[in-house]
Structure 1
Amino acid sequence: MKETNKPASRKAKILVVDDTPDNLFLMGALLEDKHEVTTAPDGATALQMAQSDAPPELILLDIMMPEMDGYEVMRRLRQNVATASIPVIFLTALTSIEEEQFGLDLGAVDYITKPISPPVVLARVNTHLERSANARRLQALSEKLSRYLAPQVYKSLFDGSRDAEIRTQRKKLTVFFSDIKDFTASTAKWQPEDITFLLNSYFSEMSKIAMEYGGTLDKFIGDAMVIFFGDPETRGVKEDALQCVKMAMAMQRRMSELQILWREMGSDKTFQVRMGINTGYCDVGNFGSDLRMDYTIIGSEVNMAARLEHAADPGGILISKETYGLVRDEIVATEQQPIMVKGFSEPVSAYAVEEEAEVQGTTRKVFQWERLGMRVLIDLDRLPSTERAAAAVELREMADRLH
């Protein structure tokens, strides 16, 4: 029977650091059959190799080296975010318990004394490589799971401040609803790829703004977004409300900029967003069962925010009387005729937020100039700060050519 050739397993990259050539040769000969071994004769070289584009997965580090000893190398590795997670095993002739404890306190994962025992070295190297690989897999999994949770909820679960149990509390929150006006009717004749692109672009940009202002992104419901302020983190009821309204204003400004960008990319499709905000007491926490829970909010005040959003003008923001009372010192809003909303027996007072001209000028992030023979588009969100100086030079050079 013909044997199937199995793909060769990937070799883990190990860096051995020692100022004695014989020791480097010995460790290389011991490890090279199963691992990819690189060596460094001193601490400075080791740090350069650890910070390279292809860092090692494990470092075997001697302590007694001239100029920079292993302890100092260890300190610098742990101080650098790029190298802090690389496991380090001290491999040294220092045999006292105090030296071993000191090395472990600095962050080493193990401590092997010379003269070495090859079976012991191989066993410990393999153990720590496996642990490191498992840690990377768990980290990758946690990062994937984090995209299904609001950042604040993810953080509170992983730092232990919140438990994954069915529990709610009553708190005064500011609730934000948004949706795209006539989304279903407007997109009925669009290609699915166009819908996906525009909707994901919209959600991505709005989510960034929500995070910037400290909002807890509750959920996406079709083309709608639900965000609230006040849990699991709060700045106080008044400041939470103010941040929510400022977030909504920033979102509407960004929508205007996105429409310019989409047209510049050749898309003739666009949409307008309505937003509603209300402040009041809600039940917030984990709702569901032992098998599946959802961290969310419920209550009539949540419904009120949804009704205000539905009553808002396209491109507008409607806030409740309660929210207006909290933000009136800093936000300009015009009182509207009381509106009748589903689920509420009495007319509801509402205020339309106005965008001040001064704010528009200072926060604009997309600039476009167009005339016959010239088209310039600048999107500051997509232009990295490290490249802005170079872009300014290029613009000045273009201006010089026009004269």
Structure 2
Amino acid sequence: MITSKPAGTPKARILVVDDTPDNLYLMSALLEDTYDVATAESGVQALEMAQSATPPELILLDIMMPEMDGYEVMRRLRQNPVTAAIPVIFLTALTSIEEEQFGLDLGAVDYITKPISPPVVLARVHAHLERSGNARRLQALSEKLGRYLAPQVYKSLFDGSRDAEIRTQRKKLTVFFSDIKDFTASTSKWQPEDITFLLNSYFSEMSKIALEYGGTLDKFIGDAMVIFFGDPDTYGVKEDALRCVKMALAMQRRMSELQILWREMGSDKTFQVRMGINTGYCDVGNFGSDLRMDYTIIGSEVNLAARLEQSADPGGIVISKETYGLVRDEIVADELEPLMAKGFAEPLAVYSVREEARRESAARKVFQWERLGMRVLIDLDRLPSAERAAAAVELREMADRLH
């Protein structure tokens, strides 16, 4: 049974493609009471309309057309990401099983032969619009839910490589902790809007860097972040550790750049971040109950990463002996006094990471020069690549004027 939409609901837009005017008239008359019908007399016109600002939600496509037949239109629709998801029903006089199978293999959702039966056309159009609408709603919902999961976990759940069941395993991971030094005391007199803006922009930038280096973002705990490397994806224990330390260095660089940008935006508020990294065997997987689970890590090695972070200076990165042994060939670090950490009986060998000057200058993305009568700020993340040449010309012109 075909049900009508509630009053005020926009009509679904359908594109009918046929090179015969009589067929276009017939299909328009059949569908226009229920749907917003657009027509195209050629494949080229159909592709243009499908890529327009008001694309159709369903296409009824004839096969036998001059210049570009329906099969070629179908191929091009599926090759273009903008139109690939639009459902297509072939509407044609070709009646062989082979022709029907060929059309379905190209990606059509249905195949209706001429002469058409109006009830059949209406029923199938309605069914496929319902199915397409449900698919879009599920996709939107999955994308919203995905924001509550680490990208790697989201991907593994939706591609079927991971099940939503209570299961853990023991693996050697590299664990990263960070927090904002004296966050509560520093922000006690700030306005809530200032705290929200700075904290969210900080988390957003740090999350991008974590994703870039392949880290699994475990959770936010107040102003703290927990990230680990080695599950669900791993590059090997040594490479996981190296990526984690490089990520921390990139985060501290970006933090320095954010402080410049915040000042340029008129904010006199800022903070500093300290970080700790440890490598060791942890239990990783889904913990919880049948009603709610949390994909996370537990174990003494996780606690040690948290202790290392608490011992770091503002703007510093402290790593364990285990992590240092894995990254020492590529990371410069200074050995610190042995650390007596809560929960650990023996003093711990720890190292403070410092970045080589060459790498620091190559990785900078925000540059600022300021003196009396002059202030220049360049943010490469916000300056499009296509405009950098023009910006360089403008800088040279400014330099010429100074002479």
Tell me the TM-score normalised to structure 2 length: 0.96
Runs of 4+ in 1 over 6 A off after TM superposition: none
Partner of 1:3: none
C-alpha distance in 1 between matches for 2:391 and 2:129: 45
Partner of 2:113: 113
The secondary structure found in structure 2 opposite 1:314 is: coil
C-alpha distance in 2 between matches for 1:7 and 1:112: 30
1:88 maps to 2:84: no
C-alpha distance in 2 between matches for 1:361 and 1:109: 54
1:263 maps to 2:263: yes
Structure 2 runs not aligned, ≥5 long: 1-5
Once the two structures are superposed, the pairs formed by residues 205-244 of structure 1 within 5 Å of their partners are 205-244=205-244
Q: How many angstroms does 1:271 deviate by?
A: 0.3
**Deviations along 1:70-126, whole A, 9 cap, x unmatched?**
001111111111111000000101011110011001100000111111111111111
1:23 maps to 2:17: no
Pick closer, same or farther for the CA change 1:92–1:389 going to 2, 3 Å.
farther
Pick closer, same or farther for the CA change 1:74–1:334 going to 2, 3 Å.
same
Q: How many angstroms does 1:399 deviate by?
A: 4.8
Partner of 1:383: 383
C-alpha distance in 1 between matches for 2:305 and 2:389: 43
**Deviations along 1:18-54, whole A, 9 cap, x unmatched?**
1111111111121111211111111111111111222
The range that moved more, 12-21 or 174-183, is: 12-21
C-alpha distance in 1 between matches for 2:390 and 2:88: 41
Structure 1 runs not aligned, ≥5 long: 1-5
Alignment RMSD, CA only? 1.3
C-alpha distance in 2 between matches for 1:386 and 1:14: 38
**Deviations along 1:117-139, whole A, 9 cap, x unmatched?**
11111111111111111110000
The range that moved more, 179-188 or 121-130, is: 121-130
C-alpha distance in 2 between matches for 1:80 and 1:337: 59
Partner of 2:3: none
- Provide the aligned length of Structure 1 versus Structure 2: 398
Partner of 2:151: 151
The range that moved more, 219-228 or 9-18, is: 9-18
The range that moved more, 393-402 or 358-367, is: 393-402
Once the two structures are superposed, the pairs formed by residues 143-292 of structure 1 within 5 Å of their partners are 143-292=143-292
Q: How many angstroms does 1:385 deviate by?
A: 2.9
Partner of 1:317: 317
Query: Which amino acid in 2 is paired with 1:111?
Result: Y
Pick closer, same or farther for the CA change 1:387–1:48 going to 2, 3 Å.
farther
Pick closer, same or farther for the CA change 1:391–1:130 going to 2, 3 Å.
farther
C-alpha distance in 2 between matches for 1:188 and 1:314: 18
**Deviations along 1:149-201, whole A, 9 cap, x unmatched?**
00000000000000000000000000000000000000000000000000000
The secondary structure found in structure 1 opposite 2:71 is: helix
The secondary structure found in structure 2 opposite 1:344 is: coil
Q: How many angstroms does 1:398 deviate by?
A: 4.7
Q: How many angstroms does 1:391 deviate by?
A: 3.7
Partner of 1:71: 71
Pick closer, same or farther for the CA change 1:70–1:164 going to 2, 3 Å.
same
Query: Which amino acid in 1 is paired with 2:257?
Result: E
The secondary structure found in structure 2 opposite 1:326 is: helix
The secondary structure found in structure 2 opposite 1:296 is: strand
C-alpha distance in 2 between matches for 1:273 and 1:330: 23
Identity %: 86
Tell me the TM-score normalised to structure 1 length: 0.96
1:100 maps to 2:100: yes
Query: Which amino acid in 2 is paired with 1:327?
Result: V
Query: Which amino acid in 1 is paired with 2:67?
Result: E
The range that moved more, 30-39 or 337-346, is: 30-39
Query: Which amino acid in 1 is paired with 2:122?
Result: L
Q: How many angstroms does 1:387 deviate by?
A: 3.7
Once the two structures are superposed, the pairs formed by residues 300-339 of structure 1 within 5 Å of their partners are 300-339=300-339
